Structure 1
Amino acid sequence: MALLNFRKRDDAARPAGTAQLEAFLNGYSIEVMPRTAEKVPDFKALLAPGTRVYIAHIDGTPITDMVATAKRLAEDGFPVMPHFPARIIADKATLADWIARYQGEANVDQALLLAGGVAEPQGAFHCSMQLMETGLFDAAGFRRLHVAGHPEGSKDIDPDGGMANVDDALRWKQAFSERTDADMALVTQFAFDAEPIIAWVNALAAAGITLPVHIGIAGPAKLQTLIRFAIACGVGPSLKVLQKRAMDVTKLLLPYEPTDVLTKLAVYKAANPDFNIAQVHFFPMGGIKTNAQWAIAHGGASTTPVADR
């Protein structure tokens, strides 16, 4: 009986939203690049079994490096989802070659399709929709295709700062999901404020967009690092959260952690079960190890590597 009472007091002492945050982090995914993955001696010591690992394809990265990273992660038992950035793919033959390499060498059967971070196409494609229209992923038996979402808009798609083209693209992707056998989801750009995210996800539902949302969140990092990435990536109004923090001298030198934004989203999700955020997707701005350790500390058993259970 004494032990039971102790547990009750311990649970009550935990910060509000702790249990909801643990549930919200279950099944999170994380992003790496070949050069950052090289710095990780053992992913199995950091990530829970089954954690989906995206491999970001930055312009200039050789496809051989991408495939080698995918192979390493797959051999460690992690589901691998490489990026296919449309604007750096020369032509349909190149796309077919990439798909074949990932399948043949790393047994990959899922992909994130996006326009990519370059302003002008280097070849035949300029958007993810054109990649899907080739039919190559379907022909290769890819069972899961994720596409990009933009809770605060995208200057690459809507240079005037509006949302019209973003919304049109979402409607096309929704229609495509209804005529394909692949499981699809929206993986979003990172944001720092829960309110715009909640408003955007609810607006999607009202517009009939039912693709599951995997919400992009920046992992723990130095404030200056995050502000630099946020500006470069076109993060919208929620950037003000970081700028406000930077004005507070007491917080300027402290690392940013996503605890507040994720707790607010988790509590909202718990109170609104139909709220269409299916998973959290981390951009590990401060390093993969730092991000994974934060997730382990806040996610409970579901985020714990096998060795630590």
Structure 2
Amino acid sequence: MALLNFKKDDGPVAGTLSPEVETFLQGYSIEVMPRTAEKVADFRAILPKGTRVYIAHIEGTPIEDMVATAKRLNADGFPVMPHFPARIIKDAATLKDWVARYQGEANVDQALLLAGGVDKPYGDFHSSMQLLESGAFDAAGFKRLHVAGHPEGNKDIDPDGSMKNVEEALHWKQKFSETTDAQMALATQFAFEAGPIIAWADSLKAAGVDLPVHIGIAGPAKLQTMIKFAIACGVGPSLRVLQRRAKDVTKLLMPFEPADVISQLAAHKAANPDFNIAQVHFFPLGGIKTNANWAIQNGGRSAVPANQ
């Protein structure tokens, strides 16, 4: 497949997989952690203006580091969406304190709510639904709330491999979206095949869940790195894409890029305008700069850095 189509003299934003991909990547978001954000001297040199930046809250990260990262990104003109992992939030007072800190110090008005990756809750919360029910975000006037989506299921929620509990949670979140003033959307785990993603997104609509989907895409990374993260994050059957590639020694040392899955999703979106995948959300497994540069090279006008 021909990946790049350069137009002479168009500069660094000219390479694009296709016009459909350029449209599909418009308004993409990306995820950072405080320690990875520290390695980026200037986000404005690599990210488009207005890019939503999620800040992943890993167990053990001090809230002070999270807020400082949010403050820096907000000052650079990027809307910030910090994670609120329910299972590491001790109680309602802690939740209220975090909301107040983000809002007061970093002008944050949006959040990703999720259960979190720890087995045993620190305190009173164990699910994103409890965080929503707390009323803390509505009381603070948060304008956007995202919740997790799992195109290939989630073994933490459904150990038997079914999607029963995941589906029940989605219906609950759909109903909640009708009672809150905040805009809601699903931000998903990454997967490596377009077919299962399309089938899952279509099944949501058929089941009456019309929350916009921000589809998780793993940014370019070494194959070994990609496999490690995919297993740790519970990626489902689409892991076979990586496993097949690992058997090809000629490709083993080459970085794995998201060209195929993005191209297929973009083509499906172009052919089906009512397709409910609204945006791409990048997990920069190979590094923030690597991911942003891939978008610049392949996303055309959708990925022009803010300072250009």
TM-score, normalising length from structure 1? 0.94
Query: What's 1:290 paired with?
Result: 290
> Which structure has more helix as a fraction of its residues?
1
Superposed CA RMSD in Å reads 1.4
Q: Which runs of 5 or more structure 2 residues have no equivalent in the other structure?
A: 1-6
Q: Deviations over 1:9-56 (max 9, x none)?
A: x9xxx9996111111000000000000000000000000100000000
SS in 2 for 1:31: strand
Q: Deviations over 1:76-116 (max 9, x none)?
A: 00000000000000000000000000001000000000000
Q: Which amino acid aligns with 1:91?
A: D
Q: Which amino acid aligns with 2:62?
A: P
Query: What's 2:138 paired with?
Result: 138
Query: What's 2:152 paired with?
Result: 152
Query: What's 1:205 paired with?
Result: 205
Report 1:9-48 matches (<5 A). 18-48=18-48
CA–CA distance in 1 between the matches of 2:20 and 2:297?
14
Q: Deviations over 1:168-218 (max 9, x none)?
A: 000000000011110000000000000100000000010010000000000
SS in 1 for 2:307: helix
Q: Which runs of 5 or more structure 1 residues have no equivalent in the other structure?
A: 1-6
Contact 1:17 1:267 in 2 (8 A): no
CA–CA distance in 2 between the matches of 1:62 and 1:218?
26
CA–CA distance in 1 between the matches of 2:201 and 2:275?
7
SS in 2 for 1:111: strand
Query: What's 1:54 paired with?
Result: 54
Contact 2:15 2:299 in 1 (8 A): no
Shift of 1:298: 1.2
Report 1:92-107 matches (<5 A). 92-107=92-107
Contact 2:16 2:299 in 1 (8 A): no
Query: What's 1:67 paired with?
Result: 67
RCO higher in structure (CA 8 A, sep ≥6): 2
SS in 2 for 1:279: strand
Shift of 1:306: 3.2
CA–CA distance in 1 between the matches of 2:161 and 2:118?
18
Report 1:117-196 matches (<5 A). 117-196=117-196
SS in 2 for 1:202: helix
Shift of 1:159: 1.1
Q: Which amino acid aligns with 1:303?
A: A
Closer, same or farther: CA 264–16 of 1 in aligned 2, 3 Å: farther
Shift of 1:307: 3.0
Shift of 1:302: 2.2
Closer, same or farther: CA 293–17 of 1 in aligned 2, 3 Å: closer
How many residue pairs get aligned? The number is 297
Query: What's 2:4 paired with?
Result: none
Q: Which amino acid aligns with 1:222?
A: K
